[in-house]
Amino acid sequence: MTARIIDGTDIAAGLSQAVADAVKHVTEDHRIEPGLAVVLVGDNPASEIYVRSKTAKTAAVNMRSLFYRLPVAVPEDELLEQIERLNQDATVHGILVQLPLPPQIDSRKVIEAIIPLKDVDGFHPLTAGLLSTGLPGIVPCTPLACIMLAKKVHGSLAGLEAVVIGRSNIVGKPLAQLLLMENATVTIAHSKTRDLPEVCRRGDIVFAAVGRAEMVRGDWIKPGATVIDVGINRVSAGQGKTKIVGDVAYTQVAEIAGAITPVPGGVGPMTIACLMLNTLKAACMQNGLPPPNVGA
């Protein structure tokens, strides 16, 4: 079997276009220009790339893009003050502080400083609580992207066996919550799971969110299953060059799976499109408008 490739770039382009159209309506009909503020501390090269693509995409979907760069040695107080200014600014609807942060800054404090209505990354504990109790709110971008990609293959996820590898607060746990809301039967595997290959073989859908290059092997996958690869790992490509690979051994898994996301070009572009959707959603929530009918 050769798996169908789930083209995240193409699906993200469709979602971004729908967001751009909805933003135009909100701006024309309600005079609200959704705005996303991105804060970068320091000059981590990977963070620079992420931030650049987020700010470019914000402008591409007709939203206001604000960018704040703070020096790597910035004291925690100054970052918190910057966040507070953005909390108070009515023209800013979403605030994103690019992680990781330098060691003098407590990431937890920073995440909790963003008011939940502007928490477009969906990392605030209140946002997590809303999600886990099934109440309306912002849904973290990467887990939302994973669900949308899986639904492109399966339509409904109800009754499917879903295996999530990874239990982080930003990917694994919220993804498991979303899968429950979709009525999937969910197994969360992690670093202490016994016989991970056997657990994975149960999955009609396997989501890999570990951060270990090509860990998931072909014989871990039930023939015909869907594989969604969240991992982003930089590895050597020889001759001093590097390349990005996922958590899934793509070539061998694609021989067994029914559908698979590539890395790059799978979850990554969809995550950014979901960030745009969340910013639009946040702008609507902050102005008493119904949530946009996009990406459902």
The residues carrying an active-site annotation are 54, 98, 121
Determine if 191 is a binding residue for ligand NAD (CB under 6 A).
yes
Interacting residues with ligand NAD between 265 and 294 (CB under 6 A):
267-268, 271
Looking at 171, 184, 206, 276, which residue binds ligand NAD (CB under 6 A)? 171
- Candidates 116, 143, 203, 231; binder of ligand NAD (CB under 6 A) is 231
Check residue 228 for interaction with ligand NAD (CB under 6 A). no
The answer to whether residue 144 forms part of the interface with ligand NAD (CB under 6 A) is: no
Site for ligand NAD contains 149 (CB under 6 A): no
From candidates 160, 206, 210, 245, binder to ligand NAD by CB under 6 A: 210
Name the closest residue to ligand NAD (Cβ).
168
Q: Which of 196, 216, 221, 276 binds ligand NAD (CB under 6 A)?
A: 196
User: CB-wise, 18 or 196, nearer to ligand NAD?
Assistant: 196
Q: In the 3-class helix/strand/coil scheme, how is the chain assigned residue by residue?
A: CCCEECCHHHHHHHHHHHHHHHHHHHHHHHCCCCEEEEEEECCCHHHHHHHHHHHHHHHHCCCEEEEEEECCCCCHHHHHHHHHHHHHCCCCCEEEECCCCCCCCCHHHHHHHCCHHHCCCCCCHHHHHHHHCCCCCCCCHHHHHHHHHHHHHHCCCCCCEEEEECCCCCCHHHHHHHHHHCCCEEEEECCCCCCHHHHHCCCCEEEECCCCCCCECHHHCCCCCEEEECCCEEEEEECCEEEEECCECHHHHHCCCCEECCCCCCHHHHHHHHHHHHHHHHHHHHCCCCCCCCCC
Q: Which is nearer to ligand NAD, 32 or 277 (CB)?
A: 277
Closer of 62 and 98 to ligand NAD (Cβ): 98
Token pair in block for residue 211: 């951060």
Per-residue contact flags (x/-) with ligand NAD for residues 104 to 143, judged by CB under 6 A: --------------------------------------x-
8 scored as a contact of ligand NAD (CB under 6 A): no
Site residues (CB under 6 A) for ligand NAD?
Answer: 142, 165-168, 170-172, 189-191, 193, 196, 209-212, 230-233, 267-268, 271
